[in-house]
Structure 1
């Protein structure tokens, strides 16, 4: 009887040792291909193991399911999309499933994009679930529970991470929340002498600065020129607002007739700020709009090398135009 008990204990030790060794061996050897797989809701530990194997992982599903149960973690596996990378062991795989370490995808929204460009990039991201693809801009805003009626400028340009198969609405929510946070922080630190009545007006200015500036170092000066103009009642006369108001009519070139054609966004024909932002401004443009450089300049003209010449009077400005553009 003692010999039988000893034999059973020895066998158990050998099984445990083999199991320990197996659980720490790479499922995919270094240099192999990462395998994407999805665990469906309600799959359970057996279903999860079968789905991993069906995705192409060289893993014995029965052995993995037994391992998960014996570890006490089998009931905690979370549904979602995952990646099995070279070098990952059964122990590491089980950790991923229990912690819900979903496969991360990324989408970058570029500073200066229009909301239309942002929507296009989201629609073309294959890893997202496209819940909003048939929605209007207004429907997206309604889902965000905001009082804003126009989406332009409300979404912060940044790189957003999401789990494969996540709703595209998640990206809109993240970008909208981050813009609110960045704008409110910048507004709290603003120059109190600025001629803005609300954070939204500052956002409009930031969007103009974003489109007008080739050099980041000049954003403060560009914002200074435009705020100086607002303070003295001058027209902003900025081409990017005219272009935005032209919509699909803009074909890469702005003509004199375009500057004279009145739209809600034509700052050559209408005083003050346009009714909405004209782009998605980044952090540097928000900072410039809310704390512009102190300058006497009322004019600037592009030098042709990405920088601008700033002037405090019309005579100097005309000389700069003649020098750099004529």
Structure 2
């Protein structure tokens, strides 16, 4: 029997936090980007302008991490299943104990520590969440994520960059638009293994005796991601919302638990291609025409629709 998830958060409840994020992060960020473009076009730019920009970037990062805590807490506590909501015991002091050393060590190690930082972030948000007073736990390993970064991100980008330099020289930013677009598409395509491996790494969660992971095969999974990505590119992004849902459904249908007393958990999504596509685009367009003000309502409606058609069932063997 299929049992569906639910999402109880409303746009009205989400709006105050979003308004803070909008005013304290998005608006200053847009102004900063505009100012930095002015710096880039200037023949001479005083040092204090660069220092000012650096301070603003640091401040925006701090604001983003602080607000992200409260936004994620609000979202998680409104996810439901079988008429019960997920409980979360997120303490800001515990969050700071993860964020502060994580950012510092990631910077001083030039990013090498970032897999441990990301692992700790996942542990914080998953291990401190529970359902019916029984906790979830995250079991992804930082060393696995480091290997994913090295072999699926750093090495491929390094190789493609070397090829690009050998073909076009060091000043690749001066490429003609068509060549630049082709180069960007190639960069997106080579990151497909990373997308697959990273999300597979993330889905490694235990609840009671159930250990939930992806049961996927390498080549078909990457082919699915590549197909949806290519369709999104050739339609100039119009197909992208449906691409996301189709990828979501593909991997959700392959998300299972181990067997516990001859039963295992199977996840899935009841997709309606046409209706889902139009619904998502309707919410996206409303967000665009309101310059982001409608976003809390769009987000909550999309989450309610997607989670409302996401199910879990216990399969007996």
Q: TM-score, normalised by structure 1?
A: 0.22
Structure 1 or 2: more helix by fraction: 2
Higher strand share: 2
Bigger Rg, which one? 1
